[in-house]
Amino acid sequence: MAEHDLHETARALVAEGKGILAADESSGTIKKRFDSIGVESTEETRRAYRDLLFTTAGAEEFISGVILFDETIRQQALDGTPFPQLLESKGIIPGIKVDQGAKPLALADGETVTEGLDGLRERLAEYRGLGARFAKWRATYSISDALPSEYCIWTNAHALARYAALCQEAGIVPIVEPEVLMDGTHTIERAYHVTGRVLNALYTELFDQRVDVEGTLLKPNMVLSGYEASDRAGTDEVADWTLRCFAKHVPAAVPGIVFLSGGQSDEDATAHLNAMNARGPHPWQLSFSYGRALQAPALKAWGGEAENVEAGQRAYYHRAKMNSAARTGAYAPELEHEAA
């Protein structure tokens, strides 16, 4: 029965036309976002901002789940409803970020390993009680001519699989997020090669650690040229290289791939997803789990002012709608300028 529930939840998160809102920014990250609009990051301003996102009327047409931060899953909406219950009442599945961040990997200069396995079983039980039905764990890998090392790739794959096994034991769907960072001057071919190695190690460890991949989702980077590369690949090339990589390395049993937006602009992240779906059908659903690429216009429109809540909600609704269109290959840049 539990296995069936995991499969059902995983499939619901990648339901047709829908994707995931990542609202799990750590305290440091949300402070940077708030600094950019001149708003002090306090428990109350963070709560007010998430309230704006979660109470947006109609967003549930396009959003299947929301990843929450530890603070947020314990907070309440303006009317006193706990956020997980508010989301559930709209048919949106509450999720939780459980990793404790990327830390320097011992004896590996410039590489990281994600921490947070200690006490994770107990934390998952608590989060399940608070309403979480899925979780997220992010590992990061830097690209250079020499990086990432096999050591970094396999250490993070092992930790991702341990996390995933603990989630499934707790009745929670694990989203595994191996993010190959696109900072640098590397070519798209180099990104393809590195992403493939990372995915190969990840699925080897998931199988070795008895994780049922039908009850998981993958949250990867797209295969892109380095952000500082002189000659960057266009939308069609990104779609082709990314699909070729995932066709080789991601089992067809995985219900969905929910891409992260990384450092892409809002519209680029949507256009790339659209181009991939236009080339379908694929063995897995191709969806989104965007943070900044769903939120940036809303954050700017809101600016920390109560009278701008509606403007912020319109901006968020519009981005969610655009990404929903990209799920079926129906997005076009002209749609950006229609009334949200």
Residue 1 has pLDDT above 90, yes or no: no
- Which of the following is catalytic: 18, 97, 136, 219? 219
219 among known catalytic residues: yes
Residue 215 has pLDDT above 90, yes or no: yes
Domains detected in the chain: 2-337 (3.20.20.70)
31 among known catalytic residues: no
pTM reported for the whole predicted model: 0.96
Residue 307 neighbours by CB distance under 10 Å: 8
3-state secondary structure (DSSP) of residue 33: helix
Q: What average pLDDT score do residues 269-290 get?
A: 97
The answer to whether the peptide bond before residue 104 is cis (omega within 30 degrees of 0) is no
pLDDT of residue 36: 96
Structure token pair of residue 92: 């949106």
Q: What is the pLDDT of residues 153-204, one digit of tens each?
A: 999 999 999 999 999 999 999 999 999 999 999 999 999 999 999 999 999 9
Q: How confident is the model at residue 4 (pLDDT cuts 50, 70, 90)?
A: confident
pLDDT of residue 340: 46
User: Strands 112-114, 102-104: parallel, antiparallel or unpaired by DSSP?
Assistant: antiparallel
Q: What average pLDDT score do residues 83-101 get?
A: 98
Report how far apart, in Å, the C-alpha atoms of 214 and of each of 6, 9, 219, 280, 338 are. 8, 10, 14, 20, 38
- Which of the following is catalytic: 25, 177, 179, 205? 177
